């Protein structure tokens, strides 16, 4: 079976499974009254989203999981390639952390789940285990490769310490991006596509399989998550997505490729940091109308659909730069 055919099958199967799971999961979430609570600090017009089912990330997690397990059997038997499972396992751990957070929120009927410290400690522990597995498997080196700029080798201890915070920061940046119908889903599509193309060029079929399954599942989820959203992915989905993107970058031993491929995630995070810093320095003035940055553009009159299209196109350009810088 050719790699291209295998990945095409993975895209289609993952898409179909996610769509099928949506028809079961969404009614189940509604029955359980697992609706999203909307923060008071968000845009006023988001209030009409109150009660929309959340934790919908379960749909694409199941779709991706079944796809990589079934389609990855030949890779595991004939090539001994388990990287698709390692990436999925890492992303799944973050998805479980998100699930615990979401469940705490919906059970309390408020937008507060795990404390920031609890989430940080769980995420650091998951990241440490992941880095350990990659080092033992020989898929990790203490080198930072910046596309177009070369490689810098670091002492192992310093490298691992830095990467712990790179992982946690990147995962939570994806989480921040999930604030508008379809935004995190659509922005992640070109990222998955880039990693799939990179896997093909670098002949790493296990990684390519996961990227293909991720792309297909997100296409399926977008049918339900586009504006007006029938379901939100919740922290269950956004933390899983963050883990998936980070897992793919580290599987290539190219964590700094996220500087380009994750340009939207980074912009979202920086907007929050700049807003808070400027607010404190100026004793109450705001740099943006609202942060993260997608809310600023909403306040400027952009529709949610326009936000998704523009941000996805910007992200796609970042992905192209990252891709050509890595090959």
pLDDT at 58: 97
Mean pLDDT for 297-314 is 96
Ranking 13-17, 32-36, 285-289 by mean pLDDT, the lowest is 32-36
Question: Beta-carbon neighbour count of residue 27 at 10 Å?
Answer: 11
**C-alpha pair distances (Å), 319 with each of 65, 244, 262, 314:** 25, 16, 8, 9
* Average pLDDT value over all residues in the chain: 91
Give the C-alpha separation, 327 to 313, whole Å. Answer: 21
Cα–Cα distance for residue pair 289/205, rounded to 1 Å? 45
- pLDDT (0 to 100) of residue 37: 65
Average pLDDT, integer, range 305-324: 97
Kind plus residue range of the DSSP H or E element containing 62 = helix 57-71
What digits encode the pLDDT tens for the residues 28-85? Answer: 999 988 876 665 555 665 666 777 899 999 999 999 999 999 988 888 888 888 889 9
Q: What is the pLDDT averaged over residues 122-129?
A: 94
**Chain centroid to CA 179: how far?**
13
β-pair partners for 153: 143
The pLDDT score that the predictor gives to residue 38 is 60
Residue 304's pLDDT is what? 94
- Using pLDDT thresholds of 50, 70 and 90, give the confidence band for residue 280: very high
Question: CA 184 to CA 187: how far, in whole Å?
Answer: 5
**Tens of pLDDT along 129-181?**
999 988 888 878 898 888 777 889 999 999 999 999 999 999 999 999 998 99
For 284-320, letters b (16+ CB in 10 Å) and e give: eeeebebbbbbbbbbeeebebeebbeebbeebbebbe
317 or 105: which leads in pLDDT: 317
pLDDT score for 106: 83
Distance set, CA 204 to CA 4, 75, 139, 197, 248 (Å)? 12, 11, 12, 10, 11
The answer to whether 159 and 134 have CB atoms below 8 angstroms apart is no
| Element at 134 (helix H, strand E) | helix 116-137
Q: Is 143 helix (H, G, I), strand (E, B) or coil?
A: strand
């Amino acid at each position: 079976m050719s790699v291209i055919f295998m990945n095409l099958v993975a895209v289609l199967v993952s898409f179909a499974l996610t769509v099928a799971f949506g028809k079961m999961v969404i009614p189940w979430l509604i029955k359980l009254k697992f609706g999203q609570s909307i923060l008071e600090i968000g845009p006023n017009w988001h209030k009409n989203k109150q009660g929309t089912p959340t934790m919908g990330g379960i749909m694409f997690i199941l779709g991706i999981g079944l796809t990589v397990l079934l389609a990855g059997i030949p890779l595991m038997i004939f090539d001994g390639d388990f990287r698709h499972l390692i990436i999925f396992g890492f992303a799944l751990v973050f998805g479980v952390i998100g699930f615990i957070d979401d469940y705490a929120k919906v059970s309390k009927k408020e937008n507060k789940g795990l404390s920031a410290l609890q989430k940080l400690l769980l995420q650091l522990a998951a990241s440490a285990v992941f880095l350990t597995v990659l080092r033992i498997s020989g898929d990790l080196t203490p080198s930072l490769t910046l596309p177009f700029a070369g490689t810098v080798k670091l002492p192992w201890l310093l490298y691992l310490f830095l990467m712990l915070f790179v992982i946690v920061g990147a995962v939570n940046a994806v989480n921040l991006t999930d604030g508008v119908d379809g935004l995190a889903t659509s922005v992640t599509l070109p990222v998955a596509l880039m990693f799939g193309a990179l896997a093909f060029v670098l002949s790493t079929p296990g990684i390519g399989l996961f990227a293909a399954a991720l792309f297909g599942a997100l296409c399926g989820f977008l049918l339900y998550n586009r504006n007006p959203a029938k379901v939100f992915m919740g922290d269950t989905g956004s933390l899983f997505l963050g883990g998936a993107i980070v897992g793919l970058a580290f599987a290539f031993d190219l964590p700094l490729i996220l500087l380009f491929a994750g340009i939207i995630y980074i912009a979202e995070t920086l907007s929050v940091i700049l807003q808070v810093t400027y607010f404190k320095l100026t004793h109450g003035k705001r740099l943006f109308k609202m942060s993260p940055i997608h809310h600023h553009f909403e306040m400027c009159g952009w529709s949610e659909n326009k936000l998704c299209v523009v941000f996805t196109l910007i992200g796609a350009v970042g992905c192209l730069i990252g891709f050509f810088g890595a090959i």
